[in-house]
Structure 1
Amino acid sequence: MAPALTSIESETSSPLPDPKAHVSKAIFPDGIKTSGQHEPIYEDLRDYADFPEIIDGPTVWKAEDYKDNPERWVHHFSEQEISELSTAADDFRASNTPLTGITKDNFTLPHLSTFLASIRNELLNGKGFILFKGFPVERWGNHKSAIAYMGLGTYLGYFVSQNGKGHVLGHVKDLGDDATQIDRVRIYRTNARQFFHGDSSDIVGLLCIARALSGGESDIASVHHIYNTLRRTHPSVLRLLSQPIWYFDRKGEVSLHQAPYIRAPVLYLEPRGQGRVYCRYDPYFIRSLSRFSSGPNAEIPPLSPEQEEAARVLEETAEGVKLHMVLEVGDIQFLSNSHVLHARTAYTDHPPPVPRRHLMRLWLGTPEGKG
């Protein structure tokens, strides 16, 4: 996971059993099975004074760099690549191995694997996003598409749990949940707008199975471009984002003795390695904690006016530098959660019998690629 997100003990909870005790490192290279909802290692957090004055390099990009240059971020699957994926998916299905058992060893891509290695590096150390086109979901159907999609994902990272049930293949669709009940509802299960955020994994993938009647479109923004902008225009906001004063809701997805929230900064400075700036943020998860921050038995402080202002400025800044894209059926979007924020517009589904908007989601961990 991203740096400072692998602590196994909370300041506000009892010590937990070591999660590395019985975890196969052949499947989970860092020895931790996690959805990423852990406190930071507080002694590894760095003061704002240690953060860089400016960030440069390929992770800093502007929408105008890519808006009219799709060849720089869109890859159309070739017939050979689709054939290779199809063969691997058919062979895996014939083995009767559970979906969660997909690995690079049993989903071999002799030619495509080399290209995917370069994409993985681009996601972790470059601009942090790519859009694949031409994945034949309508021809293959959901089962084969899921196999091929997950097999593709194993070349970018390893599967990470997306919820308290341990699901590693998520289905993003409107299940009719009430989006105003943000303390209990995950917004991806509604048709509401998702504000700029990053998920609790190193990489997120979205495969479009069916589009909405209207809306549901994607926006992304470079965290490091936002950082440079805020350093210039709102340094006090940037300083606040680097402090471990932000509480994030676990929304009930906790293990025994775990606190129902974590306290962490929004921006991290890698404690070792290259000293990169990472981001972990979701406004819904910081605004859903009133049940713990109000009343006579309040456990945590509510968001301060300064924090409310910082959240507003962060959203507005991301909105001002965003790259907009529309996921068509058969498109796959992969993003870095460490240095790319993403958002989704609200949407309206087709009336029956036309299928509702449906995306398959992967969360992937890449611990060996992080400090």
Structure 2
Amino acid sequence: MSPPPSALSASPPPAHKKELTSGQHSPLFSQLLPWTQFPAEITGRTVWERRDYVEHPEKWVHVWTPEQVAEIEAATEAYVASGRPLVEITRESFPLPTVRILLERTREDLVDGKGFALFKGLPVEEWGVERSAVAYMGLGTYVGHFLSQNAHGHVLGHVKDLFEDSSAIDRVRIYRTNARQYFHSDDSDVVGLLCLSRALSGGESDIASSHRVYNVLRRRHPAVLETLSQPIWHFDRKGEVSRGQAPYLRAAVFYCYRGRVISKWDPYFVRSVTRFVEQGLVPPLTPAQEEAMKVLEETCVEESLHMVLDVGDLQWVSNNHVFHARTAYTDHPPPAKRRHLLRLWLSTPESEGGWELPFWDSAKEKRGGIQVDEMPEVAPLDAE
């Protein structure tokens, strides 16, 4: 007999000693290379243009075969029957004898290649939320390690309009609204989205190679790129802070570290530090920073690849060398289902081939994410 849904969403028992997410951090300033040592151009697989893929979906879209769906479903049913919490899913407890080969290739491409992939055709409407969540998190174990996405320890996130005020950017996370999300990156190595239901209109995805954007800025707007490379940017933590930590971070947008250019950015978190500016704790944005934000967004739009997530689609995106965005959306009126995506933030640590990052937790298994004090991991089956 399958356990009730609540058994899967429960927090782990006290004996479960899994490492927690390490949390948000400012960079190691002493180890950052100065602008004068940044590359004149980035080359390699991480640099791509829209034209490389817009007419060639076979290069980045995979449609699950019936055999692959059956393998995923068998692993899902076995895990549900085990009664174990969602947060305890591992590769060993979610065996995928053939699908794992595809996922391991995808992981390598996310880390060192183009940095994105789209998988189509999971029968999420047939499975329902519980089994879809099990399947999704099971697949995620082959890509990385689950990270907490908010102050509540949610390792399974829900991208859904909760009717919060999108203009209150110092308190509200935009993914909990239907507002536009400008080009940004999340606090993880990889972000995944599984579409359970679509909006009436909008809510579509755009991605851009941050390395391609870097090259364009270097050629057209070198002063802008220099501004983006300086650790002069303050990012709000919106109250998701552990004891003794500052309520904001100082960082850069582009880093050159260990021979790689790494990008970390979210304009909403930069705009929302206004209250700290008013308190004299943070300097206001300079005209050069305002111009850099404008040019960066415009360049990302110009270089972006557009995609629409259908029900059952699973999107993976790197946060280290890809920016992503979302259009605003309008939901179906009741009683129809509202737009609902499941989200994973995943760490790909150095010990497993991940990039070295300019942060103190770079070598940790569960680096990044949002960890508040000792909040344990949970995987709720709906938005909270």
Alignment TM-score > 0.5, same fold? yes
Give 2:21's aligned residue: 33
Q: Which whole-Å deviations, capped at 9, do the CAs of 1:104-142 have from their partners, x for residues lacking one?
A: 111111111111111000000000000000011011110
- Counterparts of 1:1-371 in structure 2, within 5 Å, are 28=19, 33-35=21-23, 37-270=24-257, 272=258, 275-294=259-278, 297-368=279-350, 369-371=354-356
Helix, strand or coil: the match of 1:293? helix
| Counterpart residue identity of residue 266, structure 2 | D
* Structure 2 unaligned regions, length at least 5: 1-15, 357-384
Ranges of 4+ aligned residues in structure 1 off by more than 6 Å: none
Matched AA of 1:197:
H
* Distance in 1, Cα, partners of 2:154 & 2:116: 23
Q: Which amino acid aligns with 2:304?
A: K
Residue matched to 2:379: none
Equivalent-residue separation in structure 1 for 2:205 and 2:196 (angstroms): 15
Q: Normalising to structure 1: TM-score of the pair?
A: 0.90
Q: Which amino acid aligns with 1:180?
A: S
Q: 3-state SS of the aligned residue for 2:25?
A: coil
**How far apart in 2 are the matches of 1:298 and 1:350?**
44
How far residue 298 of structure 1 moved from its aligned partner, in angstroms, is: 1.1
**Counterpart secondary structure, 1:353:** coil
How much does 1:79 deviate?
Answer: 0.9
Cα RMSD of the aligned pairs, angstroms, is 1.3
1:34 Cα deviation from its structure 2 partner: 2.6
CA displacement 1:171-205 (0-9 Å, x = unmatched): 00100000000000000000000000000000000
The aligned counterpart of 1:5 is none
How far has the Cα of 1:359 moved from its partner? Answer: 0.3
Counterparts of 2:87 and 2:344 in 1: how far apart (Å)? 12
Q: TM-score, normalised by structure 2?
A: 0.87
Give the distance between the partners of 1:83 and 1:135, measured in 2 at CA.
10
Letter in 2 for 1:303: L
- Of structures 1 and 2, the one with the larger relative CO (CA 8 A, separation 6+) is 2
* % identical equivalent positions: 59
Per the TM alignment, residue 228 of structure 1 is displaced from its structure 2 partner at its CA by 0.3
The residue type paired with residue 331 of structure 1 is: D
CA distance in 2, matches of 1:108, 1:302: 51
